[in-house]
Every structure is written in C-alpha cells, then in structure tokens.
C-alpha cells in the first residue's frame, strides 16, 4: 500500500511533528523519522504517547488500515501503536495497542493499555466474550508460531507493521506475517473509534523511530 494509492493518507511529513502532539522532552524528528528517546537524566516517568492530530485536535478514526515502519537502536525498548484509544490527559493514552519491543515476547500482540491487558498473544486467533461483566478469552485457532514470528523480526533495522481494524475484527501483521486475529465481542469494552498514538515506555533508556506512516480508512 503506497501513499499514491486512492484513499491512502500520509500521517507524517518526514520533517517535523506537524499534526502530532507529545512531550517535547521525549519526541522529535531525527534523520527523517519520528523519534522517541528517554535517558537516565530524562526518564519517561510513566508511559507517555505521541498523539495524532487533525486541525489542532485529536484525530479520531474508526475502521482503517494503518501501516508504518519502526526501528529500535538501544539494547532495550518497548513501544506500541495505540488505536481506537482514549486521551487521559498529559499525553497518557488508554486502549488497544499493537505492541513491539526489542525483546522476544510481545512484538505483535494485542494489548489494551490501561484496560484488559493482553487480549491476544502472538500467533493466536481469539474471540473475546463478556462473561457477566468479566472478560472471557476464547482461543479459536492459531496463525503462526510465536518463534517463527520472532525470527521474522529484525532486531537491528526497520520492521513494517500493519494494523487492520474493521468493526470488532482486529488484525496485526509484522513484515507481512500475521501475528494476531481478534474478534472483540465484549460489547461494554470493545472500542469502535478513538485516537492513534505512538508509545514511549517507562523503564531503561530507549530510542525508537517511526517512518512511512500512512492510513487508509475502510468503509
């Protein structure tokens, strides 16, 4: 999906953080990429986020396909793309997250930041049910083995991430390989729309970069 295709919109101009809002001590543009950095003398002090804007306010998306490339350049790093999420103030965001990290466990999972936690582990096809107000996760199938998914991810270098959200059906892909497939039938919790934001995680110093960010709304 290239930006010249009909309906595809670039979300980053490659030069500055126009249409993005976050804590300026962590977010900048370096080498043509959105860059999130924490350091020992400039820690995250809790997870915080760079939020996509439109006309000076948070951009809201419902059904879409979003594509971007990410790269870490530190020994540790944990990040994610929030979608259909809520702005809790001070650049804290809760909601669905396509996770990715330097480590070998979480890249590709579906996590709900500030909510239900891990909704699907790598390689799982899951239906989320409501059980008298509680979450019931039903694993209904498998996609790819978690170790195979991990072997397909570059530790040093750029990885391509795709998230497709249509109705209550959510799918993640890294470097062309599907990592999760979720149908969220917990009506009281399943988000239909919301904001999009990149995460920088509390913890050890880290550097993560993003480029080629583009979205296609699905009708």
Q: Return the number of other C-beta atoms located less than 10 Å from residue 25's C-beta.
A: 14
**pLDDT band for position 2 (cuts 50, 70, 90):** very low
Q: CATH number of 18-217: 2.60.120.10, 2.60.120.560, 2.40.30.10, 1.10.1740.10?
A: 2.60.120.560
Q: Per-residue pLDDT for 140 more than 50?
A: yes
Residue 142 has pLDDT above 80, yes or no: yes
The residue count of the chain comes to 219
The residue-averaged pLDDT of 93-100 equals 97
Q: Cα separation of 63 and 218, whole Å?
A: 5
pLDDT in tens, 168-207: 999 999 999 999 999 999 999 999 999 999 999 999 999 9
**Hunting for tokens 């480590």 — which residue is that?**
103
**Average pLDDT of the segment spanning 131-135:** 94
Map out the domains of the chain as residue ranges: 18-217
């Amino acid at each position: 999906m290239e930006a010249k295709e009909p309906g595809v919109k670039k979300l980053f101009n490659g030069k500055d953080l126009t249409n993005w809002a976050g804590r300026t001590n962590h977010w900048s543009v370096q080498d043509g990429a959105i860059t999130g950095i924490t350091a020992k003398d400039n820690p995250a002090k809790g997870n915080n986020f760079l939020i996509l804007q439109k006309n000076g306010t948070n951009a809201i998306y419902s059904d879409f396909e979003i594509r971007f490339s990410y790269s870490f350049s530190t020994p540790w790093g944990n990040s994610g793309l929030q979608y259909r999420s809520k702005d809790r103030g001070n650049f804290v965001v809760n909601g669905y997250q396509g996770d990715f990290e330097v480590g070998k466990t979480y890249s590709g999972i579906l996590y709900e930041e500030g909510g239900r936690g891990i909704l699907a582990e790598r390689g799982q096809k899951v239906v989320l049910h409501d059980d008298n107000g509680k979450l019931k996760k039903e694993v209904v199938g498998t996609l790819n083995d978690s170790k195979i998914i991990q072997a397909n991810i570059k530790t040093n270098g750029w990885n391509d991430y795709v998230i497709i959200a249509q109705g209550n059906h959510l799918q993640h892909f890294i470097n062309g390989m599907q990592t999760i497939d979720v149908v969220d039938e917990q009506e009281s919790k399943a988000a239909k729309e919301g904001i999009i934001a990149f995460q920088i995680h509390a913890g050890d110093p880290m550097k993560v970069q993003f480029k080629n960010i583009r979205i296609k709304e699905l009708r």
